[in-house]
Amino acid sequence: MASIPAMMMLSVILIIISYFSFSFAISKDISFIAPLIHRSSPESPFYDPNATPLDIVKASIRTSSARAIAFSNLNSNNIHINSDSPVPRLDLINEDYVIKYGIGSPPMDTYGVPDTGSSLTWLQCKGCVECYIQPIPLFDPTQSSTYNTVMCGSDECNKAAYTRLCNGTSQEKCPYGIKYVDGSYSYGDIATETFTFPQVTTSDISLDYYNHSKIIFGCGLKDNFMTTDIPGIVGLTNHRSSLVGQLGFSSFSYCLSANASFHGQMRFGSAAIISGSPTKIAPNQAGNYYFQNVEGLYVDGEKVEGIPDWVFKFVESSPGAGGLLIDTGSAVSVFPPVAFDPLIEKLKKYMQSRGIEPMLDETGTFKLCYDIKYLHTEALPAIEIWFTDKSESLILSDANAWKIMPKGLFCLAMIGIITNISILGMHQMRDLNVGIDLKLSQVSFSYNPQCPQYQ
């Protein structure tokens, strides 16, 4: 018979083996759900009680316009996201929604704008020599036991997006720099840190949170985010340096309610909801989510004629090429005038055939508006995006195609500006579950007026 010390040692070994076996088992199919909080909700730390609805809408218009122009410049100029200089790739960020996560050990709660058009997660860090004011504490790397600075020449430095030129020594910190068109910028050090996400599920067990170590991110030390007080950005492109790319999940999804008082969700890994008929995403170096097979726009089942073929055809690094991009960083959808004007005229004719004339938006925000008494009536036509490879069109409901405005108006919540790129913005994705399958390069939509609420 084995001695008591020997039996105790065997028990310890078995416990250790069991622990590592359990860790391996859950890591194969781990996933998590993160809350999306509307910044106008009183629960948001960025809630501004003095901001009027019109102020928010106008800021959203500026954001969406600037991003469309910047994406168009990126595509035409063949700017690489691993350039050794700041990348003037995009402008203002849609501030409507923020994602909550934890950073460091022990973790501190922070927030970022979920951006499918950005490839690096970054946030302001304590010790910054130039900072903008944010209403929550800055992340302090010195208080975390898992913070590690990335050095030049390392795999992490080579993997990160927006890194700047190193001087050739491995003893130098790996710098990054992002300069936005509106004059905003973030410069700092590339580092690795433990990120914590809530509401974790696996095939075997449900956990309260999920820690993922050695996430590459930008620790901002010289920052000026001119239009926001949010700590930073959560990059969600299909690029190796984004949060999605580093976690290695094959899919993610998000769902936003048209009711701003409700929280939405972003679901990663096996927790992602992929439903509805899929359509292909066009491959591109930046990992952005361009539709590959847009057939055209339709109103009440009739095609909007007169839109040139190039408008929705994405060709990477080709000046003058178009494309329709899914962008969580844009508040509303954007189209070039050659597509937007025919859409407006088609909608006008439809409404006029029912004896309904447009009304002037005195704020100058939107181009097509009507008396609010016609909202949610049979008079409103279906607006659809059709695809050549998809059995179902993307139908924009009253709630996500139109927006209620002051003085008894509701307006088409889209804008037309001179740009090659078209954008499907967040307003048009409300009440939709958007599922992105990275492995198959597909995106699917399913209408869900009651998006699952984060608990």
Q: Can you identify the CATH homologous superfamily of domain 278-447? A: Acid Proteases (2.40.70.10)
Q: Which amino acid does the sequence have at 211?
A: N
Q: Do domains 30-271 and 278-447 have the same CATH topology?
A: yes
Strands across the sheet containing 409-412: 369-371, 409-412, 402-405
Rounded-to-integer distance, Cα 49 and Cα 41, Å: 10
What top-level class would CATH report for the domain 30-271? mainly beta
List the pLDDT tens digit at each of the 455 positions of the chain.
444 444 433 333 333 333 332 333 334 467 888 888 876 666 667 656 555 555 555 555 555 445 555 555 555 444 344 443 333 333 334 456 788 899 999 999 999 988 898 899 999 999 999 999 999 999 999 999 999 999 998 999 999 988 877 876 677 999 999 876 667 789 999 999 999 987 666 555 556 667 789 999 999 999 987 667 889 989 999 999 999 999 988 999 999 877 666 678 899 988 899 998 999 999 998 899 999 999 999 999 999 999 999 999 998 876 567 999 998 878 889 999 999 999 999 999 999 999 999 999 887 888 999 999 988 888 889 999 999 998 889 999 888 899 888 788 899 999 898 888 899 988 899 889 999 999 999 999 998 766 755 44
Q: Which amino acid does the sequence have at 176?
A: Y
Domain boundaries, the chain: 30-271, 278-447
- Read off the pTM: 0.82
Lookup result for tokens 């996201």: 81
Question: Cβ atoms within 10 A of the Cβ of 153, count?
Answer: 15
Residue from 407, 411, 409, 412 nearest 371 by CA:
409
Rounded-to-integer distance, Cα 318 and Cα 297, Å: 23
- Could you report how far apart the first and last alpha carbons of the chain are, in Å? 53
